[in-house]
Amino acid sequence: MKSVLPVAKDLVLIGGGHSHVTVLKAFGMKPMAGLRITLISPTVLTPYSGMLPGYIAGHYREDETNIDLGPLCQFAGVRLIRSRAVGLDLESNKVLCHDRPPVAFDLLSINAGSTPDTRKVEGAAEHSVTVKPIDRFIAYLETLEAHLQQSTGHFTIGVVGAGAAGVELILALKQRFETFRTSSGAPRVQLHLLDRAAEILAQNNRQVRRRAHQTLVDADIKLHLGHPVARVAPTHVEFDGRSNLELDSIIWATDAMAPQWLADTGLALDNRGFVQVSAELRSVSHPNVFAAGDTAAIRGYNVPRAGVYAVREGPPLAENLRRAASGAPLITYKPQQDFLRLISTGKRSAIAARGHLVAQGPWAWRYKDWIDQRFMKAFNVLPPMPVPEPPALAQGLADATTATLMQSLTMQCRGCGAKVGQTVLSSVLQNLYLDRPETPRERPTLWDDAASFAVPAGKLLVQSVDVLTAIVDDPYLFGRIAALHALGDIYAMGAKPLSALAIATLPPSNTSKAEELLFQLMSGSVHEFDQAGATVIGGHTGEAGDVSLGFTVNGLADAGRLLAKGGLQPGDQLVLCKPLGTGVLFAAEMRLVAKGSWIDEAISSMCHSNARAASILAECGATACTDVTGFGLLGHLGEMLRASSTSAELRLSAIPALPGVFECFGSDIESSGAPKNMQAAKSFGLEVASVQASQRGLLFDPQTCGGLLAGIPAASARQCVDALQQAGYDAAAVIGEVKDQATPFSIV
């Protein structure tokens, strides 16, 4: 979250569709000073529609058909918020999200895709499977194949919708099930294609329809055309004026449906619920809102909801967002009237058509594959991140807001300690705690000079402090991570969190931008402190180039039950609660080589609180405990062994690692803190010369929000690991044994 210049405007993108990935690449290639861009997407993988039939048919792997938004956002300097938009507050200019506070914007662009419309037919939503979202559809196919392996009878599937999507889908399914039948001995699947239209591919010419029709007939796909589906039941569909068609499974691939949350936004929509935009791709009702792809309906044009249009809308959308941010006149987008249509036919063959020219064969599929692979390479193989020269940085938002911010940055003195305005933190905390029922405990007014509270008799006050530079660009998520990281030491000591004081630095900006950023940070933090039963009672804020956040955390522990590092006993089993690898994964992300799914797994692990793990370890008689964070596994273990006057034997294969970690080590990537941790381990006498280099990095990798490491009596170790895994710490494992001091430290 490094900010070279003050933030003057916020551009928020909803959805990682085909138009928006082009926008991300465009701003990555040519950054715009003063403009902060945020992408809101529930997933980091965007399936490319052109390759989905090939993926379903088995011609491509999943990773070959997805654009990874994680590296793309990192390349573009874009904040990635992993969440789902559920609405808009257009009076306050905020995006409402499913599981986090609203996100403020000055400019907004929507490219959230669409799903097949199941609203018009009774029972369709309840008893059919839609082809989108694709990950859910693939999970359905895998479940179906598992069922087919156990089945001996005939199986029938109906696909409703005979447009291009439906035709490509059913031919891909034919290829998939035939391949599966050959390899597994599963029964034959009979496929049926249904549509209210009298012919397939209604938007294509007669030659295309004729060739596709013959291909379907040759594939033994039964056609039911010209008869609308009136009702869908679990085992059949009912036609208008005809008898039922018995089906074991029903797939819906009809016309697209807009995201339903758009209906309540106040945006001007067409009669099907899509955002009405002008030829500039700007909302006809709200000039600071843009839309493209399947989400948009362009006035004056009847644009098919095809991926080729979404792709071609990307460049003019990117240009107009840049122009809107700087106040320049917008350009006009004119959709092409015709384009090369390439319709996959299941096997490695396709129908190619443009105008009146139509052809079919394997060569058409190979040409389509070349086009698709070239498109994917543009987003998954990224050039080095651009570093603008200082003169170029000034060519950003040419308005009075930016000029004022630049002047304040240039003229800022440091005599004030670079503090953020006095009222910002107190205002944010007041808003967060406003109108709540009683907070976990009585707290002082936010205007007091310091906090005070009484320590009950028989209790010990436990204190710790931790500060992190932003490891993720989403400020709400980073707030959660910073809080959980700071709480780790309290849980490791066996204490119950009581209160926290925040320490935050923010990039230079005006008061409203600073307050919005701090609100996001503190919202995430307060969420985690609430879960822990603690209250944020104040803190300190300052200005710096990077966003950082930390906390001084106070907790209470029973005097006789305090856990320390120095209690290990020979024979104790060393139990680690979480997998390792956050350090190297985020180092790989900075180099644009970490898969988004790897970072998702790391974030999920970091956001798993150690609170329940601490309770389980205590219940199982933990003799000593620490949290594995910045010093890495061997650094923290070395502290425990020295404090306990013991040694240890580690089982290398038992140490859990996050997905992608060994791929990163194999590419000679390591965190900048790893070499220091290796030197520190040597000072504890922990030699690892016998360990292969590709595995050695795991022992020294610095962690953020790492798991607890504890010594557990041997008799309780298995029960302890079982309890941890049942509580959601899936990777919890016994990774070694404590030995007496006379035994040399070893790794086996």
Instruction: For residues 367-387, give the mean pLDDT.
Output: 85
- 254 phi, psi to nearest 5 deg: -90, -165
Amino acid identity of residue 487, one-letter, is L
CB of 516 within 8 A of CB of 436? Answer: no
Pick one of 3.40.50.150, 2.60.40.10, 3.30.1220.10, 3.90.650.10 as the CATH number of 565-747.
3.90.650.10
- Read off the pLDDT of residues 618-664 as tens digits, 9 standing for 90 and up: 999 999 999 999 999 999 999 999 999 999 999 999 999 999 999 99
Rounded distance between C-alpha atoms, residue 113 and residue 447, angstroms: 47
pLDDT at position 607 over 70 = yes
Q: What is the pLDDT of residue 430?
A: 67
In this structure, is the dihedral angle defined by the CA atoms of residues 695, 700, 702 and 708, taken in order, positive or negative?
A: positive
Adjacent-strand bridge partners of 67? 46
**pLDDT score at 225:** 93
Is residue 577 classed as helix, strand or coil in its secondary structure?
A: coil
d(CA 695, CA 2): 32
Q: What is the pLDDT of residues 692-729, one digit of tens each?
A: 777 888 999 999 999 999 999 999 999 999 999 999 99
**What residues form DSSP beta bridges with 46?**
67
* pTM score, whole prediction: 0.88
> How buried is 338 (Cβ within 10 angstroms: 0-12 exposed, 13-18 middle, 19+ buried)?
exposed
Tell me how far apart the alpha carbons of residues 200 and 134 are, in angstroms, rounded to a whole number.
Answer: 23
Share of the chain above pLDDT 70, in %: 90
Q: Which of 73, 97, 413, 416 is catalytic?
A: 416
Q: Do domains 9-114+258-340+353-380 and 422-558 have the same CATH topology?
A: no
445-449's contacts with Cβ under 8 Å and 24+ in sequence apart are 446/537, 446/538, 448/538
Average pLDDT over residues 138-145: 91
Which CATH code fits 422-558?
Answer: 3.30.1330.10
Q: Is the pLDDT of residue 445 over 80?
A: no
**Domain coordinates in residue numbering, the chain:** 9-114+258-340+353-380, 124-256, 422-558, 565-747
Rounded to 10°, the helix 206-218/164-184 angle is 20
92, 151, 160, 547, 718 from 145: Cα distances, Å: 49, 10, 20, 48, 36
- Measured between alpha carbons, how far is 535 from 632 in angstroms, rounded to an integer? 29
Other C-beta atoms within 10 Å of 266: how many? 14
Taking only the tens place, the pLDDT of each residue in 661-681 is: 999 999 999 898 888 988 888
Q: What is the DSSP string of 447-503?
A: TSSS---PPPTTEEEEEEEEEEE-SSS-HHHHHHHHHHHHHHHHHHTT-EEEEEEEE
Q: Residues near 722 by Cβ (< 8 Å), separated by ≥ 6?
A: none
- Is 720 known to be catalytic? no
Helix (H, G, I), strand (E, B) or coil at 38: strand
Lowest mean pLDDT among 287-296, 332-341, 352-361: 332-341
Within 327-442, residue ranges assigned H as helices are 362-380, 390-393, 400-411, 422-433
CA distance 501 to 536: 6
CATH topology for the 124-256 domain = FAD/NAD(P)-binding domain (3.50.50)
CATH number (3.30.70.20, 3.20.20.70, 3.50.50.60, 2.60.40.10) of 9-114+258-340+353-380 reads 3.50.50.60
Closest listed residue to residue 529, CA positions, set 436, 658, 633: 436
Instruction: Name the packing angle between helices 582-590 and 596-606 (round to 10°).
Output: 140
Give the confidence band of 85 by pLDDT, cuts at 50, 70, 90: very high
Give the per-residue pLDDT at 240: 79
Report which DSSP code applies to 575. Answer: E
> pLDDT tens digits, residue range 184-194?
888 899 999 99
Whole-number pLDDT of residue 407: 47
Q: What average pLDDT does this structure show over 393-398?
A: 51
Is pLDDT larger for residue 304 or for residue 459? 459
According to DSSP, the residues that pair with 298 across neighbouring strands are: 277
Greatest mean pLDDT among 62-66, 91-95, 229-233, 564-568 = 91-95
Q: How confident is the model at residue 440 (pLDDT cuts 50, 70, 90)?
A: very low
Which class for 162: exposed (0-12), middle (13-18), buried (19 or more C-beta within 10 A)? Answer: buried
Taking the mean position of all CA atoms in its chain, how far away is CA 703? Answer: 20
As a whole number, mean pLDDT of residues 388-413 equals: 46
Closest by alpha carbon to 481, among 614, 591, 629?
A: 629
653: three-class secondary structure by DSSP: helix
Rank 424-438, 512-526, 685-699 by mean pLDDT and report only the highest: 512-526
